[in-house]
A and B are shown apart, each in its own frame.
Chain A
């Protein structure tokens, strides 16, 4: 489904300085039983966020009211593990529009781009700067500028360029997705299919 356009996002951020955050943590398997795409935000990081009796774990960052915003900052190798798009849906449904890390797992990155969450990969040094800035001042504002492909700590002006391929960038800027593209080339695909041996 087509999604909101993404141009410039200015927001505070939620820091999660853990490496190898896998999609089983982002949304545990037992919450994948829905047949519609709704309500996944409630179970984002379910087992890190709630005790078994459904009370909130106070030491988890999503339950700390001083951290909020539309940007999630994660440690290296964010989104590893299962290909479940539900993980990206949960991130989006909770209210995040951008995830920043020094390294993303492939399928999670692709899933994010397909549903309108911008994955921004920064250098390990810049990631550390962001974690430090947010730790010192949770009200730190960050600007993610997709047209310019920059991410900036607004207090200090420190910034870094990030990469995104042109096709995906245009999709995000215009709120188009791959299905829009593919359905327009169906005849070309049918001709190609005739050449396949099986």
Chain B
């Protein structure tokens, strides 16, 4: 993957010395708001798995200790925000299993579903059932139907965080890219020869052609 970085991307601001030369995240598209930073990418790459693991820890520990679905959802959401900050909206989209609304829907259905299920056999809403099992390595482990509810909460919170990021950051980024593309187009039309364009043109043209390019 040595040539992943490729030649300097046509147009756009010059990459600084801190631009990554190796591939740390899943996309190499430069976000509209500026060059990528190798420091941020490495940190994101290193931290995201631990953040997500910590979120899972918060989720399962939340039954009778501090934590729970809401905290877990916020922490997991932060992992995605970090990914977005490091790599822009393409990177965020690459990491998402579904759109934020889909996550919200799954979360709502899971929470409301687990909350209502006990009603079917006449118990009050939100009734929890638990089952304690003896597992070989872990020892006594308690499974509670409450965990499903909390998982739904995680989905709702992550969905909301992502919806906010998508509506504020990513949308603005897309609009910015569009505006730059337009102005670039206009400048090209104004160029006398019509065909060849000066290499120094249009700062920050969308650099989508930078994706996985080979010379």
Tell me, yes or no, whether A binds B: no
Which positions in B face A, CB cutoff 8 Å?
none
Which positions in A face B, CB cutoff 8 Å?
none
